[in-house]
Amino acid sequence: MLRWIRSDFPARHRLPKPFRDHCRRTVILLIALLSGLSFDACGGAPNALESQSPGNGECVVLLHGLARTRHSMEKLADALQTAGYHPVNLDYPSRKKTIERLAAEVIPKGIERCEAVGARRMHFVTHSMGGIVLRYYLAGHKIARLGRVVMISPPNHGSEAADALRKNVLYRWFMGPAALELGTDSDSLPEKLGPANYPLGIIAGSDYSFFDAWFASLIPGEDDGKVSVESTKLEGMADFLVVPGTHTFIMTDDDVIA
């Protein structure tokens, strides 16, 4: 297929330019989408750590991003466990349901697992769309003993990449309904959720991987290849940090974890 897309292919066999351009964009999109996907087993059962009581009485619920699994947050979970916290590293079907349904199903599960070990406080650490899932829940619910929230690369005001791709059939099929809710227009879901009224720190990335170069070209200002630094900010946040991380791997960065 790539040979047919190449512009130096003999003219008599070459596809029309508009179709070649469309094919190029589709191939780039496929590479970018698959680069963020964890190809490991996905299961919702608690891991071995979740049978233990938190050493310091505090629990941390981790929420991965779109098209990822809990395995993308394992390094962070291990660091939290070493520091004495009780990590609850959740899997959820990010490509299968709307953000509203995900929030209603996933957040109570995390709360339940923290309560099951007798945690006196529960914190949340999210990556990417996981932050929007949590925001949706907190917009309509109070969490008893809520501690602090850390959002890593959250599209708090949507993503221009989502704007550009929402009409792409491949994107709509592969990424699912929640991805279509992450636009930047005033009617997009993130823009309707309001400011933070809980202790919130946000970490944004300012670098992007080579396979995100096309996405980055669509985003104004500094970005991590999927979300602009400006879009991660949220009214009411208590702290904000920018690191030279990429959207796909920022949650494994040692400085981010520290």
Per-residue pLDDT tens for 92-126?
999 999 999 999 999 999 999 999 999 999 999 99
Rounded Cα distance between 69 and 91, Å, is: 6
Res. 85: pLDDT tops 90: yes
Q: Considering the entire predicted model, what is its pTM?
A: 0.81
CATH topology of domain 58-257: Rossmann fold (3.40.50)
3-state secondary structure of 53: coil
Res. 167: pLDDT tops 50: yes
What local confidence, expressed as pLDDT, does residue 107 receive? Answer: 98
For residue range 201-246, list pLDDT tens digits in order: 999 999 998 888 888 898 999 999 999 999 999 999 999 999 999 9
Based on the number of CB atoms within 10 Å of its own CB, is 14 exposed (0-12), middle (13-18) or buried (19 or more)? middle
Average pLDDT over all residues of the chain = 84
Residue boundaries of the structural domains of the chain: 2-8+15-32, 58-257
